[in-house]
Amino acid sequence: MKALVKAESRPGLWLQDVPEPRIEADEVLIKVLRTGLCGTDLHIQNWDPWAQKNVPVPMVTGHEFCGEVVEIGAGVRDVAVGDLVSGEGHLICGRCRNCRAGRRHLCIKTRGLGVHVPGAFAEYVKLPATNVWVHRDITGTTDLDVLAIFDPFGNAVHTALSFPVVGEDVLITGAGPIGCMATAIARQVGARHVVVTDVNVDRLALAKKMGATRVVEVSKEKLPDVQGELGMKEGFDVGLEMSGNPRALSDMIDNMAHGGRIALLGIMPGAAAVDWNKVVFNMLTIRGIYGREMYESWYAMTVMLQSGLDISPVITHRFPYSEFEQAFAVAASGESGKVVLDWEQ
């Protein structure tokens, strides 16, 4: 089969012929239809220090996808050939304390699809049946491109729903695709104001399209002024940090209400400074977010789409998989939302 492979320990990905996966009794084989490009994929392509440390070579990359089940193992009961599915890309051990307690997203031995095990940038991918999400309730009502980005959509859901937001004022720092999806989610579930900050005007325009009350180009405007404009008197109730930028986190902390709550998804530099006195004296709560809750986030994604949530505007570019180099360039440019590869072309 054709697959995008990190074939050598240097920058680049290569479209190669590799063997089709062979499934075990508890696994399913999926014909890939669409895949989404993620920041992780860009790290692997660029072969930065994180990728060099974590990704064995050779490796079929990619973890955001949707596809059709074409084969099931002898022990599989809840997935059928012909099902339209997406996949949870965190493969867990099932035996550690958190797994046994039902907190599978906290598994201490998590392996990543397309990072530690062969991934979905390929004509076929295999997964344990327990990692397969069947789109029984929305098949035919949601396009394949949207189903392909359930993985980052789940990150946005996990982050945005970490704290109650009904009637609250929400600050989102970082207008990348996940920040933009979180914007739509916060509005869907009843936030009063959703303010989104970034330095990229194209992405701020996308955040506005996704429902932001106000977008803020931080090089030109200050958050206290925006609060005044919106009639806010005591700061933001909930912060969703999506940028991984220490200055954005600092601005967020400065503009939170006393007792405010921050969900931290963006990955900060290791030495990012925080004024902990402000956290302590303002009694702020900071919660780290990783991946999706398995599988509560997946359920929430499905029912929100059923209830009318539209995340399709966040998908701005589509390419056949053979044009992956152009797709990766667009994704890295900062002038796009989600980029999708079509594996049927």
Total number of residues shown for the chain: 345
Per the annotation, the verdict on 40 as an active-site residue is yes
* Residue owning tokens 């912060």: 239
Q: Report the chain's terminal Cα–Cα distance, integer Å.
A: 14
* Residue owning tokens 């505007």: 313
Per the annotation, the verdict on 142 as an active-site residue is no
The 59-60 sheet, strands edge to edge = 14-17, 2-6, 59-60
Q: Which of 35, 40, 142, 173 is catalytic?
A: 40
Which are the catalytic amino acids? 40, 43
